Structures are given as structure tokens and as C-alpha cells.
Chains A and B, each alone.
Chain A
């Protein structure tokens, strides 16, 4: 596909062109600049980006599926970016989030893309950010980024979102698990999924106790049964309200700016990393001594 045909395809919102454009950006192709500069700034700024995170098995994909169904009732065009880990050994990945969302597979207005972390410390953030903008520019008014909330890079990705919610479920560990990962701090909303299962009420109470402490405005907790679509309308109402609040208070603009700067920083590090490593290797520094001082010295000499 030539670049002109690709850009025309994006204007036509052709699924093939959208898929291709995301690949080119993901693979760091030189056409990325042309693609990303051609996007519609107004549509991007108007779209709402939701971040869904939580431990494996909490029901993130199923909840995403339920949210898609609900939003499709309003005929909204939706984008989904589902991120799964790459194997640190082979570099391969199984991207399986589609399984829970296949009912929307032939819906032209549900644009979905699976993405592997590819072991990049920060680079993924930049790629996911670009995919969000491509989808928004192609008419997706809501874009959902779904990722397992366990590593630092996953947390960074979530910062791309305007509103983030953490999905937990009973039976995946006690309240200490939720407290220690620092997940609660990044979430704007908490969701207890599988609310029909034993232990859901206790989990919700535990979470309430944790979020109440030292906060004038504790994080709201929604109860859902994603497999039955229960609680999703209420969750979306809360998201809407929060989104309006954030738009009025300037929080949304602040986050967008922060996400943009983070993306550029990611690219800086991505570009610098191999250069710096080569420099360090060449120097054959003594093993003894403070690595921090060595680093400072190398940077000063750049």
C-alpha cells in the first residue's frame, strides 16, 4: 500500500488502512511521521480515552466487551487496544483478548487492535498512544486501553488514559494485594467484578476502607457482573460524570499534556539507550565504585 493510498484509506476510515497504519507506527517505520501528522486534531481532542487495568482473570476483557455492547446502543464508534505481555525468552506473544470480544468482530464500528509489550521499557507507551490517535482520528469517540496492571510499563500506558479504572474480583488475593501494587493510586474508579461471587461484598468493603483513609474524596467503587452485563450502565454513568468534571476542571487537558510529554520522553530514552550502552561497554569501567557517579560523568561528556 502506498502512503497516499494509506492516507486516503484513513480518511475513508477503511479498516485495512487503520490496521496497516498502526503496524507502521508500531514498527517504527519512517512513514509514521506522515501518518501521525495527517490525523484530525479535533476528533482526537474530543475522544474519551479509558484505561482498564487489573490482575489477570479479574474480567477486564469481559468487562470491556460489556462496555462496547452498551456504547454501541448509542451508535458510538469504539476503539480498543488490548495489551498482552511478550515472552522475555522468545519475544513471541499470545494475544488472546479478542476471544472475549468476538461478538463485535464483524461490527465495522468496533475497531480493535491487540498489542504485545515487546519488552520495551517505555516504547510501548508511545506506540499505544499513536494507535489511540489513529483510532480517534478515524471516528472512534471512545477508546479503551486494556492492560494487565502489574508492571511499571503497564502503569505508564494507563497514564495515556483520560479516565482509568481498576478491575478487581473476589478470590484473587486479599486487600493487601491491591494495596501493595500501588494500583489504587492510579485508578479514578474501582470496579469489583464478579459481584455475584462469594467474597465480593467483603472485597468492596476492604477497598472502601483503604480508599477512605486520608482522602477527602474517596475513589468510587462500582459492582459489576460483566458476563451478564450487570452494573455496566451505572459504571458508564460514573465515567461520564467524572469525564465532564475533568473537562471542566482542566484535569483532562493536564493529563493529555502529561501523556504527550511522557511519549516524547519514551522516544528519547528509546533512541538513547543503545547509544549509551555502546558507550558504556567501550569504556570498560572498573567494577568497583558508584554507578551513579559513573553515569553522571558519561552524560556530562555527551
Chain B
């Protein structure tokens, strides 16, 4: 699978946090960069996100959390993907996340973490990288 195919990604918000401005902003930025973005909306369980990612055959999953529950929810999505037979789908995350948590989240298998102020170009290129790596693997 070369890069000539459209990158499909999923953007969703796990947990009870309803602040979806960030997730929608990322979804639209990715759309404008040529991605096909499956948007699942707010208040999803990790299992729902994993099942959707499998059915949609996305190359990467992007999560947003602004409630402080990222330490629990982001790794739970990684685990749910594993359970759904899709451990190879990379998970990226964004939100109000302190530095020490970023180290722990990356150790738990989340490939990139973005915080307020991360330039959108960096985010888009991280999604490109994640999708390319997934296709090559």
C-alpha cells in the first residue's frame, strides 16, 4: 500500500468529557490536509472506538481529552484495539496533558501526544507518519 491511497483516520473522544472543540478542529484540519476522517463524536467508550476503528479499517486513531482522564482512557483505547485484534493501529492523543503524563502515556503505547499550542502542521505530519508506518508494516 503506497501513499497514493487516501489516509483514513478516526477521531474520537473517549470518556464523559463533552468539550469537542479540539477534536473537531483536528478533524477539520486533517480533512483540509486530504485525510478521510471518521468522526465518532463525544462520550465514547474505548471499546466503541476500537470497534469503529476496526470496521472502518483506519490507519490511525486520534483521541482528545480535556477532562484529566487521559491517563486512564488513552491506554484503555490501546488495550481495546489489542482486544479487537488490531494492535497495529497507532493511537495519537491530544489535550491538556502535563509533561510527566506524556512520558507515561508514550510508555503505555500512545505514539504521540499534542498539547495546547502544538502547531497544526506538526500534528498533521505526525498523522502522516503514523499512517505511513502502519501501511508499511
Binding site for B on A (CB under 8 A): 14-16, 18-20, 22-23, 27, 29, 86-87, 89-96, 98-99, 102, 105-106, 111-114, 116, 118
Contact = CB atoms under 8 A, between A and B. Distances in A.
Given A87-B31, A105-B52, 17 more contacts: A16-B57, A16-B84, A19-B57, A89-B32, A90-B33, A90-B34, A91-B6, A92-B31, A92-B32, A92-B35, A92-B36, A93-B31, A93-B37, A99-B41, A102-B52, A105-B51, A114-B56
Interface residues of B, number: 31
Interface in B74-131: 84-86
Nearest to A105: B48
A302 B99 CA distance: 65
Residue with the greatest number of chain A CB neighbours at <10 A, chosen from B36, B47, B48, B84: B36
11 contacts: A15-B85, A18-B55, A23-B57, A27-B5, A94-B37, A98-B40, A105-B47, A105-B51, A111-B55, A112-B55, A114-B56
A106 B46 CA distance: 10
Contacts of A102: 40-41, 44, 48, 52
B60 interface: no
B55 A90 contact: no
B54 interface: yes
> What is the interface of chain B mostly: helix, strand, loop, or mixed?
mixed
Contacts of A86: 36
A90 B37 CA distance: 13
Contacts, number: 91
A77 B109 CA distance: 34
B47 A106 contact: yes
Q: Which of A86, A89, A95, A99 has the most CB of B within 10 A?
A: A95
Of listed B37, B51, B57, B86, residue having the most chain A CB within 10 A: B57
For the residues of A in contact with B, the DSSP-based class is mixed
Contacts of B30: 92
B27 interface: yes
Contacts of A18: 55
B61 to A, nearest CB: 13
Nearest to B45: A106
B6 A116 contact: yes
Nearest to B29: A92
Q: For A86, A89, A113, A114, which residue has the most chain B Cβ atoms within 10 angstroms? A: A114
A77 to B, nearest CB: 13
A16 B55 CA distance: 6
Given A87-B31, A94-B27, A19 B36 contact: no
A205 to B, nearest CB: 36
A15 B51 contact: yes
B51 A92 contact: no
A13 to B, nearest CB: 12
Contacts of A118: 6
Given A16-B86, A27-B1, A92 B33 contact: yes
